[in-house]
């Protein structure tokens, strides 16, 4: 709307109140025209903002879809991580079991090596004993393993031996030997078990 021009008449026919009223109306008309201009500007701005709002709403909707897709993928990855943790624990337990098995085998190997060393040292002693107990070349010196000059006594009473090795005959014990006598029942059970 166009501005309304105030016509001032120099007529004194108007009263002072009327002049004030006309001035007031002119001010209201000017104010109304300014408001209408602002309203037109705001209407254009509302149209622009509503277009921008539609764009922003579509972007918000797209972002919500992206967030839901991200949350879905995050849930999948979390499940995979939990599965991998379970597999890792299983593998760690398997490794611990195998390490324990290897440790047990190593201990067994060490034990067998110790036994082999004992056997080797005891086999040397046994070889020495066997070589000393073999039959001698002459009939005068016949004694040892496998030689029987006379058959064993019928009562198994071995009170005397036919010939004794000189080393055994000269043996002197350094510690006293104490033996508990067996009762008749115990001696019978021992002889039956043999």
Residue 54 within a domain: yes
Residue 6 within a domain: no
Listed residue (191, 150, 143) closest to 167, CA to CA:
143
- Given pLDDT bands bounded at 50, 70 and 90, which one contains residue 1? very low
Residue 172 within a domain: no
Residue 43 within a domain: yes
Please tell me the chain's helix, strand, coil percentages from 3-state DSSP, rounded to the nearest 5: 70, 0, 30
Residue 95 within a domain: yes
Q: Give the pLDDT confidence of 174-187 residue by residue, as tens digits.
A: 666 565 666 556 65
Map residue 3 onto helix, strand or coil: coil
Alpha-carbon distance of 70 to 93, in angstroms, equals 34
- Given pLDDT bands bounded at 50, 70 and 90, which one contains residue 3? very low
Residue 188 within a domain: no
Residue 80 within a domain: yes
Overall number of domains in the chain? 1
Listed residue (145, 150, 123, 126) closest to 134, CA to CA:
145
Q: Give the pLDDT confidence of 121-171 residue by residue, as tens digits.
A: 777 777 777 776 655 555 555 555 555 566 666 776 666 555 666 666 666
Q: Give the pLDDT confidence of 88-99 residue by residue, as tens digits.
A: 999 999 999 999
Alpha-carbon distance of 42 to 34, in angstroms, equals 12
Segments forming the whole domain that contains residue 88: 12-131
Q: Give the pLDDT confidence of 8-35 residue by residue, as tens digits.
A: 444 456 788 888 888 999 999 999 999 9
Residue 177 within a domain: no
Token pair in block for residue 112: 């067998």
The pLDDT score that the predictor gives to residue 168 is 64
């Amino acid at each position: 709307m166009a501005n309304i021009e105030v016509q001032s008449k120099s007529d004194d026919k108007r009263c002072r109140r009327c002049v004030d009223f006309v001035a007031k109306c002119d001010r209201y008309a000017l104010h109304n025209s300014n408001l209408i201009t602002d309203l037109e500007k705001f209407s254009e701005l509302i149209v622009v903002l509503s277009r921008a709002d539609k764009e922003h709403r579509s972007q918000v909707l797209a972002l919500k879809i992206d967030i839901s897709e991200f949350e879905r993928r995050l849930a999948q990855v979390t499940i995979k991580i939990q599965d991998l943790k379970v597999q890792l624990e299983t593998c760690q337990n398997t490794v611990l079991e195998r390490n324990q098995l290897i440790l047990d085998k190593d201990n067994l190997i060490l034990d067998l090596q110790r036994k082999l060393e004992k056997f080797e040292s005891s086999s040397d002693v046994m070889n020495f004993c066997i070589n000393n107990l073999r039959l001698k070349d002459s009939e005068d010196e016949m004694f040892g393993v496998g030689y029987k000059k006379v058959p064993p006594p019928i009562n198994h009473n071995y009170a005397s031996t036919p010939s004794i090795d000189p080393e055994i005959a000269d043996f002197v014990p350094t510690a006293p030997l104490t033996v508990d006598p067996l009762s008749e029942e115990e001696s019978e059970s021992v002889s039956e078990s043999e």
